[in-house]
């Protein structure tokens, strides 16, 4: 058994002048901390009450803005925005803030005081007038900014994608606000439209804002003008959906030197599949992709594809929509049978309100009289449509030496990445809508901020994929027609909420919020000011490792 004694002793000289020692007390019963404190005090150390000399003056969220700020620096921000100065600092802070916390500008102004971004970048004291002036300044540099992005990601002979979307407005005084086809389902609200130009992997390059009633083809011509006149690119393959690149637009750009890839509409596909047409179902007996020709499309390639999984899904969906429509029509049949609804006009009005709710009115035959109403499915039309389930036809001017059939189909299917960009801008990450600005220039500046924020988000999502549900290994395109949208690994992550090593994963937005719990604490100790970061969690540390950077103490 080990026994320790702690004695308080003193040394002195006795009456004979010889050194001697005297035990003053036995301290063995005291706690170890008290013994250590007494030993330090007797050795000359000044002991003070920690609560009196140590103070945490302020704690600011730091991790989320530090991560986005660091990624922005790696991508060349803020230099890409223009010359140094107060407007650039404010514009850069607005872009970083849009990624971290997508809120209205005035809300962002107050938030800058509560995170290290505002303090370190010197924007915490900014006024609303300064922020709006910075937006105007940024809008003036849009062409130069987009030209730099195009230089990085677009090249002569390469591929670019373009699509159009819309967002509703708050208020009616903006010159761009108009009522048009709402892609947000806000049919009663005025809106604006904006077209997004990306590279082949859906990395944002440029954006243009249009009045809310602008047609897709009109926007596409604007994109062509930007590519040729602003970026100076003479040879480029433009990819757009069937509503964007129409026959009229194809004629308009034939002499520009630009190539294009799009898809035929359903009626045009039906014509090709008619009797004696080049698109016959037997073509798909041994393969899912075949190249055909037709005199209506001279100097063009038509690549027909059949996706069995898509065919099954369309058949299921059609059956569900037909059933739902029949249920609505059966209620009217009951009303007519009970005598509560009569007259051909009144019955017709009631039927008209529900017949096309699910967009399948063409598949029904209706019989209406003053005293009766019956309906039945038009099986001839249903069967004709079902025969083309899962079939789509790519239309392109690109020669086979440049893109083989599989590569052409892949280029068109990559439009899904552009759709994800819109989803991120509008809802998942950047929350662009609704738009509160009413000056045209401010609306354009707001969308430019969102474009640049999406540029940052695009890179962040890929870098942080191991920590989120993002697919790290998208399926190969050996067979682009039947390739799955997500890899098995991504599907397993989404189902199990963990990675292959059983570490938890989360959404991109939740990860950004978690990084915000990494704070920087301003402390005062013995009259010295010290900034200290909280100990990062494994996830926070891993996030910075994935972008190849240490966790910075300050944002400089």
DSSP state letters, 96-108: HHHHH----HHHH
Rounded to whole angstroms, the Cα distance separating 269 from 296 reads 12
Rounded to whole angstroms, the Cα distance separating 363 from 424 reads 36
pLDDT digits (tens, 9 = 90+) for 238-249: 999 988 888 888
pLDDT at 218: 86
pLDDT at 1: 60
The answer for residues whose C-beta is within 8 angstroms of residue 141's C-beta and 6 or more apart is 81, 82
Domain closes at, from 409, 431, 459: 459
Q: Quick one: 270 and 360 in the same domain?
A: no
Q: Residue 297 sits in a domain of what CATH number?
A: 3.90.350.10
Domain closes at, from 386, 413, 431: 386
Q: Answer whether residue 412 is part of any domain.
A: yes
- Helices first, then strands: H and E counts in the chain: 20, 15
Q: Quick one: 372 and 431 in the same domain?
A: no
Q: In total, how many domains does the chain have?
A: 3
Domain closes at, from 430, 459, 488: 459
pLDDT digits (tens, 9 = 90+) for 524-537: 876 777 888 999 99
Q: Quick one: 420 and 433 in the same domain?
A: yes
Q: Quick one: 283 and 195 in the same domain?
A: yes
Rounded to whole angstroms, the Cα distance separating 169 from 178 reads 9
Rounded to whole angstroms, the Cα distance separating 40 from 49 reads 14
pLDDT at 180: 86
**CA R_g for the chain:** 34
Q: Answer whether residue 476 is part of any domain.
A: no
Q: Answer whether residue 224 is part of any domain.
A: yes
Q: Answer whether residue 367 is part of any domain.
A: yes
Q: Quick one: 30 and 165 in the same domain?
A: no
Please report which residue ranges of 54-104 form alpha helices under DSSP H: 63-74, 86-100
Residue 367 Cα distances to 322, 356, 373, 377, 513, angstroms = 17, 16, 6, 12, 58
Rounded to whole angstroms, the Cα distance separating 227 from 233 reads 6
- Residue from 386, 388, 161, 408 nearest 302 by CA: 408
- Residue from 96, 71, 91, 73 nearest 81 by CA: 91
Q: Quick one: 190 and 294 in the same domain?
A: yes
For 25, the token pair is: 């007390």
pLDDT at 53: 59
Q: Quick one: 157 and 223 in the same domain?
A: yes
Q: Quick one: 210 and 356 in the same domain?
A: no
Terminal alpha carbon distance of the chain: 59
pLDDT digits (tens, 9 = 90+) for 332-355: 999 999 999 999 999 999 999 999
Q: Which stretches in the chain have pLDDT values below 70?
A: 1-2, 46-54, 476-479, 482-484, 526
Q: Answer whether residue 507 is part of any domain.
A: no
Residue with the two structure tokens 């069995």 = 308
Q: Quick one: 423 and 369 in the same domain?
A: no
Rounded to whole angstroms, the Cα distance separating 65 from 100 reads 7
Q: Quick one: 302 and 318 in the same domain?
A: no
Q: Quick one: 187 and 301 in the same domain?
A: yes
Q: Answer whether residue 118 is part of any domain.
A: no
Neighbour-count burial for 361-392, b at 16+ CB within 10 Å, e otherwise:
eebbebebeeeebebeeeeeebeebeebbbbb
What range defines the domain where residue 363 resides? 309-386
Q: Answer whether residue 343 is part of any domain.
A: yes
Q: Residues 70, 544: contact at Cβ < 8 Å? A: yes
Q: Quick one: 218 and 266 in the same domain?
A: yes
- Residue from 425, 431, 527, 540 nearest 61 by CA: 540
257 Ramachandran zone, left/alpha/beta (phi>0; psi -120 to 50): left
For 214, the token pair is: 């602008």
C-alpha dihedral (449, 455, 458, 462), degrees to nearest 10: -130
Q: Answer whether residue 481 is part of any domain.
A: no
Q: Residues 373, 336: contact at Cβ < 8 Å? A: yes
Q: Residues 232, 151: contact at Cβ < 8 Å? A: no
The answer for residues whose C-beta is within 8 angstroms of residue 455's C-beta and 6 or more apart is 75, 149, 203, 204
């Amino acid at each position: 058994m080990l026994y320790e004694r702690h004695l308080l002793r003193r040394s002195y000289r006795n009456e004979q002048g010889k050194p001697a020692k005297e035990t003053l007390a036995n301290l063995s019963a005291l706690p170890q901390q008290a013994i250590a404190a007494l030993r330090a005090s007797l050795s000359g150390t000044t002991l003070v009450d920690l609560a009196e000399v140590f103070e945490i003056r302020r704690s600011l969220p730091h991790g989320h803005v530090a991560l986005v700020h660091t990624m922005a620096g790696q991508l060349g921000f803020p230099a890409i925005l223009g010359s140094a100065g107060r407007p650039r600092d404010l514009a850069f802070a607005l872009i970083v803030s849009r990624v971290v916390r997508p809120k209205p500008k005035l809300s962002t102004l107050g938030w800058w005081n509560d995170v290290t971004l505002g303090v370190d970048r010197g924007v915490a004291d900014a006024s609303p007038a300064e922020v709006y002036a910075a937006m105007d300044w940024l809008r003036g540099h849009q062409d130069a900014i987009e030209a730099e992005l195009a230089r990085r990601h677009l090249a002569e002979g390469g591929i670019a994608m373009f699509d159009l979307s819309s967002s509703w407005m708050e208020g009616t005084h903006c010159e761009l606000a108009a009522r048009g086809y709402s892609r947000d389902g806000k049919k009663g609200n005025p809106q604006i439209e904006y077209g997004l130009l990306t590279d082949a992997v859906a990395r944002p390059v440029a954006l243009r804002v249009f009045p809310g009633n602008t047609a897709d083809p009109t926007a596409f011509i604007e994109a062509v003008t930007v590519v040729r006149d602003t970026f100076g690119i003479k040879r480029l393959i433009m990819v757009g959906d069937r509503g964007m690149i129409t026959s009229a637009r194809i004629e308009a750009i034939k002499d520009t030197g630009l190539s294009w890839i799009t898809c035929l509409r359903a009626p045009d596909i039906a014509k090709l599949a008619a009797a004696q047409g080049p698109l016959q179902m037997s073509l798909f007996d041994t393969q899912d992709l075949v190249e055909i020709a037709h005199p209506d499309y001279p100097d063009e390639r038509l690549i027909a594809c059949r996706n069995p999984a898509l065919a099954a899904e369309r058949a299921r969906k059609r059956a569900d929509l037909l059933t739902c429509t029949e249920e609505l029509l059966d209620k009217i049949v009951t009303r007519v049978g009970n005598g509560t609804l009569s007259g051909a006009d009144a019955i017709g009005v009631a039927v008209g309100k529900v017949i096309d709710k699910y967009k399948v009115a063409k598949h029904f035959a209706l019989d209406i009289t003053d005293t009766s109403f019956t309906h039945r499915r038009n099986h001839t039309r249903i069967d004709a449509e079902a025969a083309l389930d899962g079939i789509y036809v790519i239309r392109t001017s690109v020669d086979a030496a440049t893109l083989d059939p599989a590569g052409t189909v892949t280029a068109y299917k990559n439009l899904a990445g552009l759709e994800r960009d819109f989803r991120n801008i509008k809802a998942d990450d950047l929350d662009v809508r609704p738009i509160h600005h009413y000056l045209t220039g401010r609306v354009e500046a707001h969308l430019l901020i969102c474009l640049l924020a999406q540029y940052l988000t695009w890179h962040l999502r890929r870098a942080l994929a191991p920590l989120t549900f993002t697919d790290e290994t998208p399926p190969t395109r050996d067979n682009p027609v039947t390739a799955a949208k997500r890899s098995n690994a991504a599907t397993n992550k989404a189902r199990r909420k963990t990675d292959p090593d059983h570490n938890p994963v989360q959404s991109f937005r939740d990860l950004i919020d978690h990084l915000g719990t990494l704070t920087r604490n301003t402390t005062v100790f013995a009259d010295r000011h010290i900034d200290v970061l909280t100990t990062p969690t494994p996830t926070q540390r891993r996030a910075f490792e994935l972008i190849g950077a240490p966790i910075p103490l300050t944002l400089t």
